[in-house]
């Protein structure tokens, strides 16, 4: 029941029809006894400033969540960045303070790392990875890899300038382990134990498409897709056909959402209730 004391969170991005976040978050609030409500605001960058300013001056908002394509653009409209968010230069979580200030955080990297750690036997330290996609999700994932001691991170994007900038930022802010890989040049893939799709290709209007040719995937790879709806993108189906291990972004969604609730509320999030809700969605 929404009342005068309800505090709101909205997810800002597009497309959002594939998102499970509202059900997961609202189940978390319910399980924790929190009078909060999470809902969607589907929008790109055109009116992002006005939306963020609205949240700033509405005391009913605890903050907002941010997703593709707004994770980098939103930085312009915030008052302060958590040190990790500042290093990543991408934000997926905004906390509103009582004095109308907006503080940016990034929990995507935490979600990615926890998912790999909990759901696979892949060791990130000294690993060689290929990250396809240099937007907000790619930034968070590459940053997490560098922070966790990766040996080398190849970064590629159709927008090659973005990939170059991300590699430079990783090398400057975390560790000198990032290497720009020209888009469509897969010569580095034989080195890579972990291949990551952070482009968004495979969900929404691009269902059935993959950002990588199937024949460059090898059985000894772990292939990770930040997308979780559909549960198996074309990229993951291709990887499975090639004998590779696969993992979608559902665990990343869970653990980044857990961290978000703890930022917005200062209380421990009910992890198992949120996990069960995600399982109910995927199995139902």
Q: Annotated catalytic sites, by residue?
A: 71
H-only helix segments in the chain: 21-32, 48-56, 83-88, 108-119, 136-147, 160-173, 234-241, 250-265, 271-283
Residue 70, both tokens: 């707004």
Question: What is the Cα–Cα distance from 211 to 74, expressed in whole angstroms?
Answer: 26
Omega cis (within 30) before 69:
yes
In terms of Cα–Cα distance, which of 123, 172, 121 is closest to 145? 123
Q: What are phi and psi of 49, to 5 degrees?
A: -60, -45
280: Cβ–Cβ under 8 A, 6 or more apart, which residues? none
Beta partners for 132?
156, 197
Question: What is the Cα–Cα distance from 197 to 214, expressed in whole angstroms?
Answer: 13
Question: What is the Cα–Cα distance from 221 to 191, expressed in whole angstroms?
Answer: 10
- Label residue 33 left, alpha or beta by phi (over 0 means left) and psi (-120 to 50 means alpha): left
With contact defined as beta carbons under 8 Å apart, do 134 and 124 qualify?
no
Q: What are phi and psi of 253, to 5 degrees?
A: -60, -45
């Amino acid at each position: 029941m929404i009342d005068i004391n309800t505090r709101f969170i909205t997810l800002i991005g597009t497309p959002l029809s594939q998102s499970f976040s509202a059900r997961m978050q609202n189940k978390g609030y319910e399980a924790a006894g929190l009078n909060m409500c999470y809902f969607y605001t589907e929008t790109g960058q055109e009116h992002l400033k006005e939306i963020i300013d609205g949240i700033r001056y509405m005391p009913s908002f605890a903050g907002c969540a941010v997703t593709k394509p707004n994770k980098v653009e939103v930085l312009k409209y915030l008052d302060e960045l958590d040190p990790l968010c500042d290093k990543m230069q991408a934000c997926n979580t905004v906390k509103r303070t009582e004095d109308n200030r907006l503080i940016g955080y990034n929990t995507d990297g935490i979600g990615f790392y926890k998912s790999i750690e909990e759901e696979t036997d892949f060791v990130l330290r000294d690993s060689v990875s290929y990250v396809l996609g240099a937007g907000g999700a790619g930034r968070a994932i590459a940053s997490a890899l560098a922070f966790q001691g990766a040996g080398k991170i190849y970064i590629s994007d159709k927008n090659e300038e973005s990939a170059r900038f991300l590699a430079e930022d990783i090398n400057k802010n975390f560790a000198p382990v990032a290497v720009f890989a020209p888009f469509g040049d897969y010569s580095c893939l034989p080195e890579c134990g972990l291949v990551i799709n952070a482009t968004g290709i495979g969900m929404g209007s691009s269902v059935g498409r993959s950002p990588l040719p199937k024949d460059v995937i090898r059985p000894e790879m772990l292939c990770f897709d930040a997308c979780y709806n559909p549960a198996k993108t074309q990229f993951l189906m291709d990887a499975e056909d090639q004998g590779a291990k696969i993992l979608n972004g559902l665990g990343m969604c869970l653990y980044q959402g857990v961290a978000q609730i703890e930022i917005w509320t200062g209380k421990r999030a009910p992890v198992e209730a949120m996990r069960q809700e995600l399982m109910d969605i995927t199995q139902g």
